[in-house]
Structure 1
Amino acid sequence: MDDDLRERIETAAEKHALLNAVKHESDADVGAIMGPLMGENPDFRQHGGEIPGLIGPVVAEVNGLSNAEKRNRLEDLAPEELAEMEAEEEADDSLLPDLPNVEAYDEVRMRAAPNPNGPWHLGHARMPAVIGTYKEMYDGSFIVRFDDTDPETKRPDLTAYEAILDDIDYLGFEPDDVIRASDRVETYYDHARDLIEMGGAYTCSCSGEDFSNLKNNGKPCPHRDKDAETTLDEFEAMVAGEYSSGEMVLRVKTDIEHKNPALRDWVAFRMIDTPHPREEAESYRAWPMLDFQSGIDDHLTGVTHIIRGIDLQDSAKRQQFVYDYFGWDYPEVVHWGHVQVDAYDVKMSTSSIKELIDAGELDDWDDPRAPTIKSLRRRGIRGQAIVDAMVGLGTSTSNVDLSMSTIYANNRDLVDDETDRYFLVRDGESFAVEGGPDTAHPPLHPSFEDRGARDIPVGDAVRLESGDVPAEGDRVWLKGFGCVRRESDTLVHTGDDLDVVREGDVDVIHWVPTEGVQVRMRTMDGDVTGVAEPDFGDVSEDELIQFERVGFVRVDDRDDDETVVYFAHK
């Protein structure tokens, strides 16, 4: 056994020992890794009798590491396989916890309540992913309610309504009902009137500063004890638009000495001078605050379970006062922490993304650099890959981190079998070719021979990626063509068979003829240009393929000069 083969065996053994140890959180075993080691490296089998003794010290060295050191070493040695393992681990733990008190309800009804102030960023996908999954678990209902009752500070974007519904469809879910809160303003007015007549609300013309001082000192507003008739008259004046912004609000009467000042006589309605962008709602000036509107809607639409951020715990407590006045039972509530996604330089915020688009720093919401659902969709990421990753986060009250590598691993599992292979050379160098076949025939997919092969004419010269160019006198294996040796500016076909590859003496690389398809590949790090093999010109727009040794891409646009593709992941 020569030194090169010995080194290859030891390196492969270390990887498999680490995979075994990290997966089971225990020491690796020589017997347990022999199968995967031989299966991945069939040329090792002829040395099967020597290998256990050779890899024993390697396994012992791995077992001497701490769990953290094993994981760190595996990340250095085989990052993609570690990511796949972590994705599988998360999938194993991804079953959502049971919802509380399900047996008390005839049907589980849940809602996603987006603010339509712009298309969704990636973090928004968590809510429909989890609610949609719960709907399937319990054969329940999924409501989408657009909370669009703030026409000023979170002004609705008229294009966002359909864009969000399109995102939900892409994620694989269909709402049972779609509601726009701005269509229901009269309903909120009716419930406000009922609340006033119960003595549960009063109109207040204090300045924000004055009321804040009173509230923080546990002192009642001077308007708090006005009679219901007066309050109702002033509320009707609000509805009629007789007050300007800041002049008058309607407050829910709670406990002015409540230990939490945020719950003391909170605002249910305020005046907004800015017209709503929807024509159906542009005449309204008295608008409900979200806690009032959402609380009313949750009851009227039969919502049984609410999922909301841990930072919104006060919302349930505010709404409970309204529910108590009306004698309603409050829905079950699950609070969860925020999700933070790695791999992006752009802040995951609708307003921040919009500012970058307006400034020309991003092309649009589907720019590959934008952390948006539209961007991932354009890149060729399947909605199910996102859903599986989001569901895998569970519903913990702790903040959670989502690695994009998890989404990529999920997507790879979904698309790998169906994506045909092609060659793309980016920053290439050209070499003349001497000898060998006139045409190469690499398979469309290495695992599915029945799909056939591509035809790549060799011509007089080929292009290699700069990092693959062999040194003078060295050999490389051009995939689908054969072994060549570099002699100055020429690659000479040697006639060697695949044994030179199996023995580890020759690297396998991809290549293209000098005449191919011009490609511009859009990535998270900017655009990359290159040349693809001629058969790639037959791939249809919107199709997902894999450029071998580069990654998965979605074909976005074709014209006579170039083909634009969006990079998905490796």
Structure 2
Amino acid sequence: MQIRVSYRGWARHIRDLQRNFPFRKWPSIQNVTQEPCEETPQDQAKLEGLLPGAEVGKVCTRFPPEPSGYLHIGHAKAAMLNNHYARHYKGKLILRFDDTNPTKEKLEFVENIMKDLATLQVKPDQVSHTSDYFDQLQSAMEDLIKKGKAYVDDTDQETMRAERDKGTASKSRSLPVEENLRRWAEMLKGSEEGLKMCVRGKMDMQNNNKCLRDPVFYRCKVDLPHHRHGTKYKAYPTYDFACPVVDALEGVTHALRTIEYKDREAQYKWVLEATGSRKVELVEFAKTQFSYTILSKRKLAWFVDNGHVDGWDDPRFPTVQGVMRRGMTVEGLQEFVLTQGMSKATNMMEWDKIWAINKQKIDPVVPRYPAVADDAAVLHLDGPAEPASKMEKKHPKNDELGERLLLQSKDIYIEQEDAAAIEEGEQVTLLHWGNAYVDKITRANGKVTELKGRLNIEGNVKDTKKKIHWVPKLDQQVTPAILREFDHLVTKPKMEDEDDVANLINPTSVVDTQAIGDPLLKTLPKGFKIQLERDRLR
């Protein structure tokens, strides 16, 4: 049996444990199945009154992911915010796949984005694809070329980048409309000449905002067929051109975008005006950033493609499926998003906050079971002679979870750290059983190998300083388990675009501990969610 756990989410709990004893591999949670109790976020951010001109029944938002990877926690925030406003204003949410780059997109990603949104309880009112509008986009671009608002450029990428940086106009910028249309036709055919071309908006090459220095709006892609249209199209629009045009075509009233797109706001508005499209309000919010975390789909794909992780759902990944495998709940994510709201302040966050929110959702509703590391010491008690059993609550503070069978035996396993802290003659409390005196302790090679004691069931638990969890020593019935601890995937707190992740891999991002689990653990179905007990020794 393998139990996946995470330390990062339980910072305060773990710090308490580490302060009391040097133990770094005990988890407190796996995942959650039960419905969490409802709590009102105490630090919920302001969410209302932030959409200009919003009217009940008329608001339309959109979530436009590119199907080039799985959704990560940043996408989850965007999806939930768009969904929130669509529902709050009794409006409409569009899920639109931005499928304009066939070299990176796959049907697998489309299917998993749909799966993740269902997990997040985000239900779009309409599902569309940017590729649904390829014909309209081509027509709109051809119209811009005819109006002299766009031109077809054969400048190579490196030279174009240098010219845009310096504000130098391309030699193709002054070509006549007829030549631009001829080149455009070659692009649409995907000819040898057309493959060397791209279409650029004719904006302002001297503008201080470099996003307005004649950005690329169309380029040729013939390396791979489109996952929906095969080889029908050879020229594809860029996001900067397609997004505003399709937003207008689909009736989007408010386009929510992260603040990183702020420099492109004027470009977005230029496209709407140049194409004669209806107005769309832009609303920015802060990009989600976590320390020691990769959010670039390109870099996440590198880890997947090179076998450094199990897949896009690896618990070390910030993907929706990854954090869910690690123990996140939808309710925890929802509350986290509400606390962030539409703030424009971009901060590097630690994972502690989101995991602390999640713990509040999990702790009251998930059954607790004991387990000990396999270097446990054996405590021999003076009874019972034969294994006994009784019914015990699955959670000490939640009767609604019901009861479970608790097996008792004269020999029990206790954690090595617990055993090392006990003194001969001391009375301790065995959780869910009662008190016991420890009369003799045997050590070898720096570890406790066995202890001998006697039960004192009538003893008062308030008289003991140490409350100890335990597992009955029933060799044919205990549950062998692997406790898996996850750490950060990379060793650098803040990732930069130019970083080579191959040089930043954390070699100890996964640590496994062999363990002995409660006999009842083996009866639980796959996917069942539990907490493993670990009480303090003070």
Match of 2:456 among 490, 495, 505: 495
Which of the residues 516, 528, 534 maps onto 1:549? 534
Aligned partner of 1:368 in structure 2 is: 315
User: Under a length normalisation based on structure 2, what TM-score does the superposition of the two structures give?
Assistant: 0.78
Q: Who wins on radius of gyration, i.e. which is larger?
A: 1
Q: Secondary structure at the match of 1:280?
A: coil
What's the CA shift string for 1:186-221, capped at 9, x where partnerless? 221111122223332222223345555665665654
1:126–1:391 contact (8 Å) kept in structure 2: no
Displacement of 1:351: 2.5
Q: Map 1:93-112; keep pairs closer than 5 Å.
A: 93-103=44-54, 107-112=58-63
Corresponding residue for residue 54 of structure 1: none
Residue 74 of structure 1, CA deviation: 12
CA deviation vs aligned residue, 1:43-88 (integer Å, no higher than 9, x gap): xxxxxxxxxxxxxxxxxxxxxxxxxxxxx999977999xxxxxxx8
Measure the CA separation in 1 of the matches of 2:217 and 2:466.
Answer: 70
Deviation string for 1:100-120 (max 9, x for gaps)? 323468611111121211112
Where does residue 407 of structure 1 map in the other structure?
354
Secondary structure, counterpart of 1:168 in structure 2: helix
Tell me which amino acid in the other structure corresponds to 1:481: W
| Structure 2 counterpart of 1:409, one-letter code | A
Superposed, 1:87-126 pairs within 5 Å as 91-103=42-54, 107-126=58-77
* Alignment partner of 1:473 is 2:425: yes
Normalising by structure 1, what TM-score?
0.74
Question: Which residue identity lines up with residue 548 of structure 1 in the other structure?
Answer: E
What do the CA deviations read for 1:87-141 (whole angstroms, capped 9, x no partner)?
A: x896433342423323468611111121211112222221112112222221222
Structure 2: unaligned runs, 5 residues or longer? 1-10, 20-38, 441-449, 487-509
After superposition, the C-alpha distances for 1:456-496 in whole angstroms (9 at most, x for unaligned) are 33334110011111232222111122111223344423425
Question: Which protein has the bigger helix share?
Answer: 1
Name the residue aligned to 2:199.
250
**Secondary structure class of the residue paired with 1:455:** strand
2:289 to 340, 346, 355: 340
Q: Which residue of 2 aligns with 1:321?
A: 270
Q: Which residue of 2 aligns with 1:265?
A: 214
Mapping 1:150-299, distance limit 5 Å: 150-152=101-103, 155-208=104-157, 211=160, 220-243=169-192, 247-299=196-248
Q: Secondary structure at the match of 2:425?
A: coil
Contact 1:102 1:108 in 2 (8 A): no
Match of 2:369 among 399, 418, 422: 422
Go from structure 1 to structure 2 and tell me whether the alpha carbon gap of 1:430 and 1:402 turns closer, same or farther (over 3 Å shift): same
Letter in 2 for 1:203: V
Higher relative contact order (CA 8 A, sep 6+): 2
Q: Which moved more, 1:164-173 or 1:532-541?
A: 532-541
Whether contact under 8 Å (1:477, 1:483) holds in the other structure is: yes
Task: Say whether the 8 Å CA contact 2:209–2:263 is kept in structure 1.
Answer: no
Do residues 533 (structure 1) and 518 (structure 2) align? yes
Counterpart amino acid of residue 431 in structure 2: K
| Residue identity opposite 1:96 in structure 2 | L
Q: Which of the residues 362, 376, 387 maps onto 2:334?
A: 387
Closer, same or farther: CA 319–443 of 1 in aligned 2, 3 Å: closer
Taking the aligned partners of 1:75 and 1:93, their CA distance within structure 2 comes to 26
Report the Cα offset of residue 346 of structure 1: 5.2
Q: Do 2:211 and 2:264's aligned partners in 1 also have CA atoms closer than 8 Å?
A: no
1:270-300 deviations in Å (ceiling 9; x for gaps): 1223123515243422111110111211111
Q: Which amino acid aligns with 2:373?
A: R
Identity of aligned residues (%): 27
Q: Which runs of 5+ in 1 are unaligned?
A: 1-71, 81-87, 552-570
Larger CA deviation: 448-457 vs 167-176: 448-457
User: 1:478/1:245 Cα in 2 relative to 1: closer, same or farther (>3 Å)?
Assistant: farther
Q: Say whether the 8 Å CA contact 1:149–1:290 is kept in structure 2.
A: yes
Q: Which amino acid aligns with 1:101?
A: P
Distance 2:180 2:194 in 1: 18
| Equivalent residue, structure 2, for 1:127 | 78
- Does the residue aligned with 2:107 lie in a helix, a strand or coil? coil
Instruction: Give the Cα separation in 2 of the matches to 1:331 and 1:446.
Output: 54
Judge conservation of contact 2:384–2:409 (CA < 8 Å) in 1. no
Superposed displacement of residue 420, structure 1: 2.0
Structure 2 counterpart of 1:302: 251
What is the deviation of 1:156? 1.2
- Inter-CA distance 316–224: structure 2 relative to 1 (3 Å threshold): same
State the one-letter code of the partner of 1:513: P
- Whether the aligned pair in 2 keeps the contact of 1:291 and 1:319 (CA below 8 Å) is yes
**Mapped partners of 1:547, 1:186: distance in 2:** 57
Give the counterpart letter for 1:444 in structure 2.
K
| Whole-angstrom distance in 1 between the partners of 2:13 and 2:355 | 18
Give the letter for the 1:521 counterpart.
L
